[in-house]
Structure formats: structure tokens, C-alpha cells
Amino acid sequence: MITIQYPKGIYQGPTKKRSYIRYNDKTYEIPKPFNQCYFGSEPIKEMTIGNRFNDKDHQQFAKLPAFAVAIYDTIIGAEQTEDYKLMQKGLTWFQKNFTDEYYVLLD
């Protein structure tokens, strides 16, 4: 039986046109321009993020790997700068890859 060894952190596909990262035995494609995000020294380290509209009566949190937090931050920044094309690209990526977390943080 052959065991595939995946690189740690973000890595390029064979054509170097796409970027990928392994997390919890799943491969995630990181589309452009999100592959330019800074994922930190531990891109699969889990972090807890609170819904930005939390208040004393309603609290929601989600656990995400650092690479997804970087994309989340980019989505929020794109919204603030009214770059709706980038924001939608990030929202679509989140809906596909972190569906439950999308509904907690971005819906």
C-alpha cells in the first residue's frame, strides 16, 4: 500500500497554478488571491472566532484553522472597502469549505 505524504502548510499543485493545504485529512484549494494571504507559521492551528455581531444576549463562535481565519479577515476587509467581487469570492469559498462556520460567522 502506498502512503501519500503531503507537504505541511500551503503548497502548489503540479502546474503551479493552484494552491492547496491539508487540514483534518482533507485537501482545500486556496483560490487566488487568497493564496497571497498570510496564514501564519502554523496555518492549520485552530482558532476560535466570534461572530462580529455578538452581544450580551446572543453569542456565536466557530473554530477555524488559521488559513481559514486569514480568508475570513480578507472577506471582512473586502466588505469594509466595498470590494464586493472579492467579498463574494470569499463567501462562496466559505460556503463550500466551511459551511457550518459560514452560517455562524458570515450569514
Instruction: Let me know: does 38 contact 15? Beta carbons within 8 Å.
Output: no
pLDDT, tens digit, for every residue of 66-75? 999 999 999 9
What is the C-alpha to C-alpha distance for residues 92 and 11, in angstroms, rounded to an integer? 21
What is the C-alpha to C-alpha distance for residues 47 and 87, in angstroms, rounded to an integer? 21
What is the C-alpha to C-alpha distance for residues 1 and 51, in angstroms, rounded to an integer? 44
pTM, to two decimals: 0.89
pLDDT, tens digit, for every residue of 20-49? 999 998 999 999 999 999 999 999 999 999
